[in-house]
Amino acid sequence: MKKILVTGGAGYIGSHTALALLKSDYEVVVVDNLFNSSQESLTRVEKLSGKSLTFYQSDIRDKAALINIFKKEKIDAVIHFAGLKAVGESVLKPLAYYQNNVEGTLTLVEVMKECGTNCLVFSSSATVYGEANQPPYVETQPLGNPSSPYGKTKAMVEQILMDVAVSDPEIKIANLRYFNPIGADASGQIGEDPNGIPNNLMPFVAQVAVGKRDKLAIFGDDYPTKDGTCLRDYIHVTDLAVGHIDALTWLLKQEQGCCEAFNLGTGEPLSVLDIVHGFENFTKQTISYEFSPRRSGDLPAFWANSSKAQEILAWQPTKSLQDMMEDTWRWQSNNPQGYQN
Ligand SMILES: NC(=O)c1ccc[n+]([C@@H]2O[C@H](COP(=O)([O-])OP(=O)(O)OC[C@H]3O[C@@H](n4cnc5c(N)ncnc54)[C@H](O)[C@@H]3O)[C@@H](O)[C@H]2O)c1
């Protein structure tokens, strides 16, 4: 049985992927400093899967601790989620973002090389395409110049990983460029529970619906889109988690080193108002909202062409918009205070 290290595995996407890994008969080791998460997510993953995982509360920048974990656990492959992810905050705290996201990845890859682990799935983002590329984004488009330090860290890490792959014929890397993950496991037991005010749309909508926040702020109503709000490609987090299993399975089968990027999105652009009204329709909850000025760094519209992941990884999103809304609501209404319940 292959043993997979999941960095940032207590977080939103990491916990759903840890669950998918356990269900697919991988052994799971999680390293997370719990900066933006709670260990309760992992307790629930164990309950849902009926299997146990190994957890280390540690920072991936702590090289000595990471080496000890690799030596003790004999890791076959790594799925690397650990990082900071708030676009707006990254503009205010660029050094924290470069340090955590870039330095953290450098330390991780150094330790992988020292310990002979050569298979890595990296959490990249659609933001790496930047402003100059036109949607639908396709992997043959060049890395762009992302508008925020957050996006720049993702583009930098992809560039670093490509260079590492050129220098090392053994290393196998998949850079997964996520679009906008939303939703929760269908059980309603795990979901997105960010610390503080949510930066992403869906947890904000869900927290307004449950009464935890008064009103949703929609940033910008004057974009050149059908209703003036931004268009994004929303993908169910469970489909995204399965994309990691498919990428990992593909990487483990490769006989030669490689570094490939894959878009993971549905290819369907939806506006912020589509999401708000969709949530209201499917959950029968009312969402109060108001328009605020545009947020710096937000692009009007982007969505994915995910043909490459479909053709090479045999990955296909299966969940509908209704699933995304209902699963978000099941999670939030079962857990109004998130994991603190
Ligand atoms: N959620 C999105 O919209 C989205 C979109 C594109 C890419 N991503 C990327 O996917 C990854 C996971 O995102 P998420 O939404 O699950 O975020 P999250 O904040 O829920 O999860 C990240 C986890 O990493 C941990 N962490 C952060 N820095 C760490 C460090 N130095 N050492 C150890 N643990 C650390 C946090 O405590 C958290 O549990 C991130 O790298 C993010 O940039 C997310």
pLDDT tens-place string over residues 13-25:
999 999 999 999 9
* pTM assigned to the model: 0.98
Confidence of residue 341 (pLDDT cuts 50, 70, 90): low
Nearest CA to ligand 1 atom 32: 59
Confidence of residue 147 (pLDDT cuts 50, 70, 90): confident
Q: Reduced to 3 DSSP states, what percent helix, strand and coil does the chain have, rounded to the nearest 5?
A: 45, 20, 40
Ligand 1 neighbour 83 (Cβ under 6 A)? yes
* Mean pLDDT for the chain overall: 96
Confidence of residue 198 (pLDDT cuts 50, 70, 90): confident
Cβ contact 24:245 at 8 Å: yes
**Contacting residues for 66 by C-beta, under 8 A, at least 6 apart:** 31, 58, 60, 107, 108, 111
Tell me how far the alpha carbon of residue 101 lies from the centroid of ligand 1, in angstroms: 9
Residue 174 pLDDT exceeds 80: yes
Q: Is 98 a catalytic residue?
A: no
Residue 151 parent element (H or E): helix 149-167
**Cis peptide preceding 169, ω within 30 of 0:** no
Catalytic residue among 12, 98, 150, 178: 150
Report the distance separating Cα 209 and Cα 329, nearest Å.
Answer: 8
Report the distance separating Cα 174 and Cα 312, nearest Å.
Answer: 12
Average pLDDT over residues 72-96: 95
Tell me how far the alpha carbon of residue 21 lies from the centroid of ligand 1, in angstroms: 17
Residue 310 pLDDT exceeds 90: yes
Tell me how far the alpha carbon of residue 10 lies from the centroid of ligand 1, in angstroms: 9
Atom of ligand 1 nearest to the CA of 85: 43
Report the distance separating Cα 233 and Cα 339, nearest Å.
Answer: 27
Note the pLDDT tens digit of each residue in 244-303: 999 999 999 999 999 999 999 999 999 999 999 999 999 999 999 999 999 887 899 999
Which CATH superfamily groups domain 3-182+234-266+304-317? NAD(P)-binding Rossmann-like Domain (3.40.50.720)
Tell me how far the alpha carbon of residue 222 lies from the centroid of ligand 1, in angstroms: 30
Which of the listed residues 32, 84, 89 should we mutate to test ligand 1's pocket, taking the one with most ligand atoms within 8 A of CB? 32
Report the distance separating Cα 120 and Cα 49, nearest Å.
Answer: 24
Domain ranges of the chain: 3-182+234-266+304-317
Report the distance separating Cα 315 and Cα 320, nearest Å.
Answer: 15
Confidence of residue 123 (pLDDT cuts 50, 70, 90): very high
Give the distance from CA 335 to its chain's centroid. 21
Residue 236 pLDDT exceeds 80: yes
Ligand 1 neighbour 264 (Cβ under 6 A)? no
Nearest CA to ligand 1 atom 42: 85
Confidence of residue 199 (pLDDT cuts 50, 70, 90): confident
Confidence of residue 315 (pLDDT cuts 50, 70, 90): very high
Report the distance separating Cα 173 and Cα 159, nearest Å.
Answer: 12
Ligand 1 neighbour 35 (Cβ under 6 A)? yes
Average pLDDT over residues 103-119: 98
Atom of ligand 1 nearest to the CA of 100: 31
